[in-house]
């Protein structure tokens, strides 16, 4: 017997897919996910997922950018090599504000993209789901729910039956 | 099993009121017309990349490459012989290079506006045009960047603009708006690329999966043996190329949750960014103590102008694409209407700013300021002012009329006028203020040289080369986002009519 990754089931339209996700959540499964080629409005709540942590990374990036901008201008123009320009002060928090502003946005943007990759555990080289021809159709219009074998509640027979009960079709076991 | 969750319970007073008022049904124009389904959308957008390269593409590419070579030759000429080959001469030391820089940077702004500001405002119609508009932004920034880079004179020292230690042990001078501009433009370019790339990840995943599907099926027929082999080879290339770029994206609900949050945050970051970029570009002028430049109206005026010119360029690009690829169900009349209306709105702000500048010059009671503005409109560069005013103020006013907005050919021609007008605006601001400054003895008249003209002309080729490559290798529209605004994607089943079997 080969190792199983889990069971996938397809759903005919977005409402049934959405409500099925709510039922999987209520049934107490933990290691499962929905798969659709577009974001479904309200799906995180239907899946019982918390708010995304991406903004934390944005904040860290932004605060780093702001501080780096501030310190860089002070260090370069007021400390390491002070230059007299038009009698202006060597440092003030006002004139380098555009620098701080732009660096805040730059590093916050990197933080956001990086945060998206980190929270999604990407890049990922391989996922057994792609071995299923049905799963590949998710990129078209197929709507799939996959319950993974590593879930504590997973049972090859009972889970399959459960997915059938909530309206799943084309149920397939995917090998790891 | 579409269940409607429409609330049917309504109390008696409400019902009586509704019977009396008799409200008309509000029909929102659909964003994807002709009842297309998900597979149609996926197919339509992916097949642009997956089918054989059309002949027109090769022709356009050849023309674009030849045009782009003018920029290459112009820059080669410049670097090998010195900045004297440009038409710059005292007192006009900011000529076409700066005009072109501001022109191209301005064009970029519509892309960010569509992708970020309209995203925050939850404007569903942005979906089918945002990818191409973002691509336009990035390529416009590339074209823009060339000019200040070479304008520094000794381009091999351009890296001194960045805070990198150099052998002179000297640092950039952060009190200069030109240095702020280095940061603003490079941040803008970088963040635009990040935003563009992140938005593309799900679609790159789609292209990857489709290549895998075709390879799994293994049916490559219809052509000669060699043609079939090439088709298969191309799919192997696509599988790997898009797999690397898609980073293992697999459309999971969890992916979408973080992706949507990241997208929203990036939109929130890009909005202040796009406003700051042209503000800082306007500081290049506004912080100089020169009549005609030294005005506080510049930041909002520049930003409005940038959005105006950018939407002009989006129309210039999207209308031919719509016709060439038959995208009428995705870029509908509603999209064109909205873009025209934004041109109308921002064009009117620009027109207001032109008039307000005169008012300020008069109200400020500064003779030099008054002279600068009267000279702008009636002095030696009156022809440029007329071009600017007629293209930017009068052209968009035609967009009040529905008949005009529905005539794609006319809209396209008007979008060209907007592009031309906005170039002249930058010319008027930059050159007229410098040509006639404080001392009449030092006045001059600026004319571009052939090198100036051809270098600028070539950037349109460069832009086209990049845009054509984008069309050929990357998804033109955000497939996921287009699907998201379709009634089928609604999890609560608010869909107009039930269509046939989806599978």
CA torsion sign for B490, B494, B496, B499 is: positive
* Predicted ipTM of the assembly: 0.94
Contacts made by residues B80-89, CB under 8 angstroms, sequence distance 24+: B83/B151, B83/B153, B85/B449, B85/B451, B86/B448, B86/B449, B86/B451, B86/B452, B87/B446, B87/B447, B87/B448, B87/B449, B87/B452, B88/B446, B89/B444, B89/B446
H helix runs in B218-297, sequence order: 225-246, 253-286
Domain parsing of chain B, residue ranges: 30-489
pLDDT of residue B56: 94
* Mean pLDDT along residues B198-224: 91
Question: What percent of the residues of chain B are helix, what percent strand, and what percent coil, each to the nearest 5?
Answer: 75, 0, 25
Question: Å from A61 to nearest chain B CA?
Answer: 12
A143-148 sheet: strands from edge to edge = A32-35, A143-148, A4-11, A169-175
Question: Å from A1 to nearest chain B CA?
Answer: 24
> What band does B10 get if pLDDT is binned at 50, 70 and 90?
low
Residues of A in contact with B252 (CB under 8 A): 33-35, 120
**Contact between B247 and A117 (Cβ < 8 Å):** yes
Contact B187 A106 (CB under 8 A): yes
**Contact between B206 and B46 (Cβ < 8 Å):** yes
Q: Is residue B45 helix, strand or coil?
A: helix
A13 and A99 fall within a common domain: no
Counting the structural domains of chain A, the total is 2
Low-confidence ranges of chain A (pLDDT < 50): 1
CB atoms within 10 A of CB B472: 14
A152 at interface of B, judged by CB pairs closer than 8 A: no
Q: Which one of A72, A140, A169 would you mutate to disrupt binding with B, by most B Cβ within 10 Å of its Cβ?
A: A140
B273 at interface of A, judged by CB pairs closer than 8 A: yes
Residues of A in contact with B256 (CB under 8 A): 36, 39-40, 43
Q: pLDDT for B412-445, tens place per residue?
A: 999 999 999 999 999 999 999 999 888 889 898 9
Q: pLDDT for B145-162, tens place per residue?
A: 999 999 998 999 999 999
pLDDT of residue B498: 40
Question: Å from A154 to nearest chain B CA?
Answer: 19
Q: pLDDT for B478-499, tens place per residue?
A: 999 999 988 888 888 765 444 3
- What is the DSSP code (8-state) at residue B379? S
Residues of B in contact with A87 (CB under 8 A): none
**Contact between B33 and B326 (Cβ < 8 Å):** no
Q: Which residues 59-88 of chain A have a CB within 8 Å of chain B?
A: 72-73, 76-77, 80-81, 83, 85-86, 88
The structure tokens listed for A122 are 């990407």
- What is the DSSP code (8-state) at residue B288? S
Which of B370, B245, B234, B235 minimizes the C-alpha distance to B295? B370
Percent of chain B with pLDDT over 90: 67
Residues of B in contact with A40 (CB under 8 A): 253, 256, 489, 491
Contacts made by residues A84-90, CB under 8 angstroms, sequence distance 24+: A85/B173, A85/B175, A85/B176, A86/B175, A88/B175
Residues of B in contact with A122 (CB under 8 A): 247-249, 255
Contact B258 A53 (CB under 8 A): yes
Question: Å from B497 to nearest chain A CA?
Answer: 14
Residues of B in contact with A125 (CB under 8 A): 248
pLDDT of residue B20: 87
Percent of chain B with pLDDT over 70: 96
B243 at interface of A, judged by CB pairs closer than 8 A: no
The answer as to whether A39 is a domain residue is yes
Contact B489 A83 (CB under 8 A): no
Contacts made by residues A88-94, CB under 8 angstroms, sequence distance 24+: A88/B175
Give the lowest-confidence range in B35-39, B150-154, B257-261. Answer: B35-39
Contact A77 B484 (CB under 8 A): no
As a residue count, chain B comes to 503
Contact A43 B491 (CB under 8 A): yes
> What band does B6 get if pLDDT is binned at 50, 70 and 90?
very low
Across all residues in chain B, what is the average pLDDT? 90
DSSP for chain A, written as a single string: -PPEEEEEEEESSHHHHHHHHHHHHHTT--SEEEE-SSPPTTHHHHTTPPPPSHHHHHHHHHHHHHHHHHHHHIIIIIIIS----TT--S--SSTTHHHHHHHHHHHHHHHHHHHHHHHTT-S-S--GGGG-HHHHGGGTT-EEEEEETTSTT--HHHHHHHHHHTT-EEEEEEE-
A61 and A105 fall within a common domain: yes
The answer as to whether A124 is a domain residue is no
Q: pLDDT for B107-127, tens place per residue?
A: 988 888 888 888 898 888 888
Which of B297, B266, B260 minimizes the C-alpha distance to B117? B266
A59 and A114 fall within a common domain: yes
Q: Domain ends where: A98, A119, A140? A: A119
* Mean pLDDT along residues B41-57: 92
> What band does B8 get if pLDDT is binned at 50, 70 and 90?
low
Which of B414, B405, B378, B315 minimizes the C-alpha distance to B107? B315
Contact B209 A88 (CB under 8 A): no
CA torsion sign for B495, B499, B501, B503 is: negative
Contact A106 B191 (CB under 8 A): yes
Q: Domain ends where: A96, A119, A142? A: A119
Q: Which fold has domain B30-489?
A: Formate dehydrogenase/DMSO reductase fold (1.20.1630)
Contact B261 A140 (CB under 8 A): no
B198 at interface of A, judged by CB pairs closer than 8 A: yes
Over 70: is that where the pLDDT of B242 sits? Answer: yes
Chain B's closest residue to A102, CA to CA, is B184
Residue B235 CA from chain centroid, whole number: 31
A30 and A10 fall within a common domain: yes
Chain A's closest residue to B192, CA to CA, is A109
Contact A42 B491 (CB under 8 A): yes
Over 80: is that where the pLDDT of B34 sits? Answer: no
B265 at interface of A, judged by CB pairs closer than 8 A: yes
A115 and A65 fall within a common domain: yes
Range of the structural domain that residue A32 is part of: 4-51+129-175
Residues of B in contact with A81 (CB under 8 A): 169-171
- The closest CB to that of A117, out of B202, B247, B272, belongs to B247
Q: Measure the CA angle with vertex B71, ends B312 and B196; round to 5°.
A: 50
Contact A109 B259 (CB under 8 A): no
The answer as to whether A44 is a domain residue is yes
pLDDT of residue B295: 87
């Amino acid at each position: 017997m080969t190792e199983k990754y889990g069971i996938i089931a397809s759903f005919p339209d977005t409402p049934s897919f959405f409500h099925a996700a709510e039922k999987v959540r209520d049934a107490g499964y933990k290691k499962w996910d929905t798969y659709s080629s577009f974001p479904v409005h309200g799906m995180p709540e239907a899946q019982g997922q918390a708010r995304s942590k991406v903004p934390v990374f944005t904040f860290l990036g932004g605060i780093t950018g702001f501080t780096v901008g501030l310190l860089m201008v002070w260090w370069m123009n007021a400390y390491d090599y002070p230059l007299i320009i038009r009698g202006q002060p060597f440092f003030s928090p006002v004139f380098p504000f555009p620098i701080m502003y732009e660096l805040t946005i730059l590093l916050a943007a990197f933080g956001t993209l990086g945060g998206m990759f980190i929270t999604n555990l990407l890049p990922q080289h391989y996922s057994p789901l792609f071995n299923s021809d049905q799963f590949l159709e998710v990129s078209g219009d197929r709507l799939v729910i996959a319950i993974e074998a590593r879930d504590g509640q997973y049972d090859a027979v009972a889970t399959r039956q459960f997915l059938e009960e909530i309206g799943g079709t084309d149920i397939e076991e995917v090998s790891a | 099993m579409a269940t409607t969750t429409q609330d049917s319970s309504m109390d008696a007073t409400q019902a009586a009121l509704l019977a009396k008022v008799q409200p008309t049904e509000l029909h929102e124009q659909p964003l994807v017309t002709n009842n297309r389904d998900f597979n149609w959308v996926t197919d339509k957008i992916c097949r642009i990349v997956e089918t054989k390269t059309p002949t027109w593409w090769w022709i356009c590419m050849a023309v674009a490459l030849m045009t782009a070579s003018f920029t290459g030759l112009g820059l080669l000429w410049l670097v090998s012989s010195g900045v004297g080959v440009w038409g710059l001469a005292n007192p006009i030391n900011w000529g076409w290079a700066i005009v072109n820089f501001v022109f191209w940077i301005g064009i970029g702004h519509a892309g960010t506006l569509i992708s970020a500001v309209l995203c925050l405002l939850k404007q569903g119609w942005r979906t089918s045009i945002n990818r191409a508009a973002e691509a336009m932004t990035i390529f416009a920034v590339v074209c823009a960047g060339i000019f200040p880079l070479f304008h520094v004179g000794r381009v091999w020292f351009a890296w001194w603009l960045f805070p990198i230690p150099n052998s002179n042990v000297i640092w950039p001078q952060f009190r200069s708006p030109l240095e702020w501009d280095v940061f603003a433009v490079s941040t803008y370019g970088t963040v635009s690329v990040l935003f563009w790339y992140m938005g593309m990840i799900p679609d790159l995943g789609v292209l990857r999966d489709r290549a895998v599907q075709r390879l799994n099926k293994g049916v490559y027929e219809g052509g000669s043996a060699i043609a079939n082999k090439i088709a298969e080879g191309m799919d192997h290339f696509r599988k790997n190329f898009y797999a690397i770029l898609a980073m293992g994206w697999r459309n999971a609900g969890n992916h979408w949750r973080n992706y949507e949050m990241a997208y929203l945050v990036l939109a929130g970051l890009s909005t202040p960014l796009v406003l700051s970029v042209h503000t800082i570009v306007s500081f290049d002028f506004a912080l100089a103590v020169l009549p005609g430049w030294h005005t506080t109206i510049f930041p909002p005026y520049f930003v409005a102008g940038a959005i105006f010119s950018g939407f002009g360029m989006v129309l210039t690009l999207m209308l031919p694409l719509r016709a060439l690829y038959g995208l009428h169900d995705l870029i509908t009349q509603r999209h064109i209407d909205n873009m025209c209306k934004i041109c109308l709105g921002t064009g009117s702000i620009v027109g207001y700013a032109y008039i307000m500048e005169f008012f300020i010059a008069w109200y400020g009671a500064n003779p030099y300021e008054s002279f600068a503005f009267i000279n702008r409109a009636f002095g030696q560069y009156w022809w440029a002012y007329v071009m600017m005013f007629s293209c930017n103020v009068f052209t968009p006013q035609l967009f009040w009329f529905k008949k005009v907005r529905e005539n794609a050919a006319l809209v396209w021609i008007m979008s060209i006028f907007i592009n031309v007008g906005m170039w002249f605006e930058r010319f008027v601001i930059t050159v007229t203020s410098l040509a006639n400054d404080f001392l009449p003895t030092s006045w001059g008249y600026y004319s571009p040289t052939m090198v100036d003209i051809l270098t600028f002309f070539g950037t349109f080729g460069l832009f086209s080369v990049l845009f054509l490559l984008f069309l050929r290798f990357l998804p033109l529209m955000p497939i996921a986002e287009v699907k998201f605004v379709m009634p089928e994607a609604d999890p609560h089943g608010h869909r107009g009519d039930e269509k046939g079997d989806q599978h």
